[in-house]
Amino acid sequence: MIYDLIIIGAGPAGITAAVYAARKRLKLLVISKDIGGQAAWSGDIENYTGYQFITGPDLAAKFEEHMRNYKIAVREGEEAVDITRQDKAISVRTGKSSYEAYSVIIASGKVSRELGAKGEAEFKNRGLTYCATCDGPIFAGKDVAVIGGGNSALDAAIQMMKIAKHVYVVNITKQLGGDAVMRETVEKGKAVTVINNARVTEVFGDRMVKGIKIKREEREENLAVEGVFVEIGLIPNSKFAKIIEKNEFGEIKVNCHNETNVPGVFGAGDVTDVPEKQIIIAAGEGSKACLSAFRYLNENGLVSSDSTAY
């Protein structure tokens, strides 16, 4: 089978693209390791139009419900490992199978940047995590450390303030970044200690995390914590797209029509070089990418005659 469109990723960009594609009655396949993307990892969201307040998991659930209403074919639990183009067909290979389409939208988002400290790999999922929304409740009543100083770290700290006994925010720069409102909330937290100009050199423990070693001004010290949340940024999930042109950060280069350097391949959301990484921007880019893909298919006479109405 050859599809009209394959969408790689099911975060805000991918799901929005899928909804638009279904309404265009394209023969469609969505491939994604999970549903919801980074939206599902977010805490409280107060800047998504139409919702004065909604949690990340709740918004991700709304996205998924909308997509599922169209009975779209979804290969959940599969990750793209390669993409190639031959003649008019584009092949997407995953760890389980290969699929072909006349057009592809890459909306694979970003993945957490690793700390690179001693003991990180050893204690991953044994007290060290990259998602406060997913794993925060496990550390109720315990001392924890959030590593980072941007919005992701601030969001994690705000979530953990309501759960943990004490929250240490370890930030490598001279002062916290991120949104002023979030920064103020963290800095005023009664059970929060912000440690600026510090970097983590080691995560240690026995079977589980027992603490971290930090270095500031050439002085090393230990913090006794049972949970470590690494929130030092994200990197584009684009390594599989070897034929696609990227910038120095690994972001897929797209023009204002979401076109990449490969005809028939489009990009949307945080995996691209579009400025500002926000849920609402990713969703808008997903719709644009689908409309561009639909126009490409029609202009090249590639829409299949047996496309099914959803």
Catalytic residues: 131, 134-135
Token readout for 238 is 């684009």
C-alpha triplet 161, 56, 258: angle, nearest 5°: 135
> Terminus-to-terminus CA distance in the chain, angstroms?
18
Q: Which of 189, 198, 109 is nearest to 156 (CA)?
A: 189
In this structure, how many other beta carbons lie within 10 angstroms of the beta carbon of residue 258?
A: 28
Measured CA to CA, the distance from residue 237 to residue 253 in angstroms comes to: 13
CA dist 36 → 27, 128, 289 (Å): 22, 22, 18
CA dist 171 → 97, 192, 211 (Å): 42, 13, 16
Measured CA to CA, the distance from residue 283 to residue 148 in angstroms comes to: 26
